[in-house]
């Protein structure tokens, strides 16, 4: 007896990645963005007095407090994004911090880092904002804490599916 089995439609190049590739993409983004933020936070911690002096020269309000806040957001926010912990809050704080860096530190007229431009902080802000909007993915502390290892939404297989393939 012949039983017709519907074929799966091929994924289109305009469709978002399906699980597990979407989860892998979110994880890679978290690791890279978090790692870069942690590195910059460590750099600020090791040269804190120089950062305060630079912030003072640039006319940044409350330079000691601002440097401490920026350093803390980069260290703690970077670690939170790296592990996928409190991702929405961390992503939003990092975004605001990076926007402050664009306004107060990096020339809005220049794009490239070698000219003092905003490209690095702009990309970090965009990536952090995207993680805040989509979540950290299923391979994160947030997912483990909220749903036992799976997180609804981007990066997880649809209900009843083990591979996330669209039927």
Q: Long-range contact list for 10-18, CB < 8 A, 24+ apart?
A: 11/166, 15/166, 16/154, 18/157, 18/163, 18/164, 18/165, 18/166
pLDDT at residue 165 in the model? 44
Task: Return per-residue pLDDT of the chain as tens, 167 residues.
Answer: 667 666 666 667 788 999 999 999 999 999 999 999 999 999 999 999 999 999 999 999 999 999 999 999 999 999 999 999 999 999 999 999 999 999 999 877 799 999 989 999 999 999 999 999 999 999 999 999 987 544 454 444 555 444 444 44
Q: State pTM to two decimals.
A: 0.81
Task: Note the pLDDT tens digit of each residue in 49-59.
Answer: 999 999 999 99
Q: Are 74 and 112 in contact (CB under 8 A)?
A: no
Task: Note the pLDDT tens digit of each residue in 122-135.
Answer: 999 999 999 999 99
Containing 29, the helix (H) or strand (E) segment is helix 21-46
Q: Are 136 and 143 in contact (CB under 8 A)?
A: yes
Q: Residue 62, SS3?
A: coil
């Amino acid at each position: 007896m012949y039983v017709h089995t519907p074929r799966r439609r091929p994924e289109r190049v305009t469709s978002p990645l399906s699980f597990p590739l979407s989860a892998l993409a979110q994880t890679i983004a978290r690791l890279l963005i978090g790692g870069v933020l942690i590195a910059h936070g460590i750099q600020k911690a090791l040269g804190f007095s120089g950062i305060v002096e630079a912030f003072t020269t640039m006319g940044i309000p409350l330079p000691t407090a601002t440097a401490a806040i920026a350093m803390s957001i980069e260290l703690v926010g970077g670690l939170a994004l790296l592990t996928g912990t409190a991702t929405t809050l961390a992503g939003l704080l990092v975004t605001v911090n990076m926007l402050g860096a664009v306004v107060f530190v990096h020339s809005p007229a220049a794009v490239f880092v070698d000219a003092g431009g905003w490209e690095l902080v702009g990309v970090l802000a965009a990536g952090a904002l995207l993680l805040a909007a989509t979540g950290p993915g299923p391979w994160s502390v947030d997912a483990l804490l909220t749903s036992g290892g799976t997180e609804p939404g981007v990066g997880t297989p649809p209900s009843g599916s083990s591979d996330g393939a669209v039927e």
